Amino acid sequence: MAIDNPNVIDGMAIDENRKAICLLLTDHFAWNGNDTLSEYDHLILLQEKINAYNSGFFYEKCIFKEFLS
């Protein structure tokens, strides 16, 4: 689970009192050093992961329906 797999939720927490879900995004890539992606590629991966979380993909699959109803 990490930013290079946008179709997987890295983690989540559920607040049933507020009917809220907090999605966790994990980033295992370093931002500097010898074995790093370019900053551009790193940001693209982050953007794709965030877009997947915001796209409604997980909501359309009814993964969270039981928590939000």
pLDDT digit string (tens) for 12-41? 888 888 877 888 999 989 888 887 889 999
User: What CA–CA distance (Å, rounded) separates 8 from 52?
Assistant: 9
Structural domain including 46 reads 11-68
Q: Tell me which of 19 and 52 has the higher pLDDT.
A: 52
**Residues 6+ positions from 45 with CB-CB distance below 8 Å:** 3, 4, 29, 37
> What values do phi and psi take at 58, rounded to 5?
-70, -35
Looking at residue 31, the DSSP 8-state letter turns out to be S
* pLDDT at position 60: 67
Would 53 be classed as within a structural domain? yes
Would 1 be classed as within a structural domain? no
Would 2 be classed as within a structural domain? no
